[in-house]
Amino acid sequence: MSDQTTIHVNFARPMPVFPLNVAVLMPHAVAPLEIFEPRYRQMTSDALDGPGLIAMAVFEAGEKWKSEYHARPAIRPAVCVGHIAEHFKWPDGRYAIVLQGVCRGRVVHELAAGESKLYREAMIEPVGMGKEDDEQLETYRERFCTSLADGPLTDLRLAKDAARHLKNSQIPTSVIIEFLGANLPESHADLEARYQWLAADDAGERARIVSKRLDGLATLLRKAAPQRMVETPKGCHWN
């Protein structure tokens, strides 16, 4: 998990907006991206010359964005503000970047398109930036620690690291909840759930979402346990 305490976000200034069809970035997580379109090359170059911030947005639900992709398809309000933690530029102008999720945000309004600026910009307001009450989340912390340290959920790839983080009192419960929410296994059908997770501005709500997902995974793993007695084909796993 990353520490964003030294990254300053100035919400008084417009921010570059990079919309995709799914929420790829969450707070306290990282997302590697390849930047090849001219508008997003310009966006990355400008961001690197400035504070290095990009608001990762999500297109409105449905398929309409596909036909409007090269214009300005409608976007949903919830975004994740990311900081370019690492970058590499190829000779042909493409970038490889690693975005570090800093915080949640909400689109207030988009700026009008400019002649020289190819990418979109918007005014963003912070979401969930108040101090989280870890005491209210302590019950969830204890529950998650128990379920990830013993039982079917120990088979999850992240279980060992998550259990270790949960036992570390120096890591706030709200941060661990973000880690779990961003990294729990999900199917294609859960893409909408990823956006709803991003849009959840209350730590208690996010804790309830994680608890429900862990319960569902535990049930699935229990039901699948008899099948695991059969030899698994090479290259397959339960994550």
The DSSP code sequence of 190-204 is GHHHHHHHHH---HH
Percent of the chain exceeding pLDDT 70 equals 87
Between CA 177 and CA 104 the distance in angstroms is 14
Say what the pLDDT of residue 237 is.
55
Whether residue 4 is predicted with pLDDT greater than 50 in this model: the reply is no
Give every CB contact of residue 99 below 8 A, 6+ residues apart in sequence.
25, 30, 31, 32, 33, 54, 56, 82, 83, 84, 85
Q: Average pLDDT, stretch 110-119?
A: 89
Encoding tokens for residue 196? 């709803």
Beta bridge partners of 17: 55, 120
Query: Does pTM surpass 0.75?
Result: yes
Between CA 205 and CA 225 the distance in angstroms is 30
The model's pLDDT over 43-66, given as tens digits with 9 standing for 90+, comes to 999 999 999 999 999 999 878 888
* Greatest mean pLDDT range, 58-67, 87-96, 153-162: 87-96
- Structural domains of the chain sorted by starting position, each given as residue range(s) with its CATH number in brackets: 15-127 (2.30.130.40), 134-226 (no CATH)
Give every CB contact of residue 83 below 8 A, 6+ residues apart in sequence.
4, 7, 51, 52, 53, 99, 100, 102
Between CA 19 and CA 27 the distance in angstroms is 16
85 pLDDT band (50/70/90 cuts)?
very high
Token pair 């409608």 is found at 74
Q: Average pLDDT, stretch 17-35?
A: 93
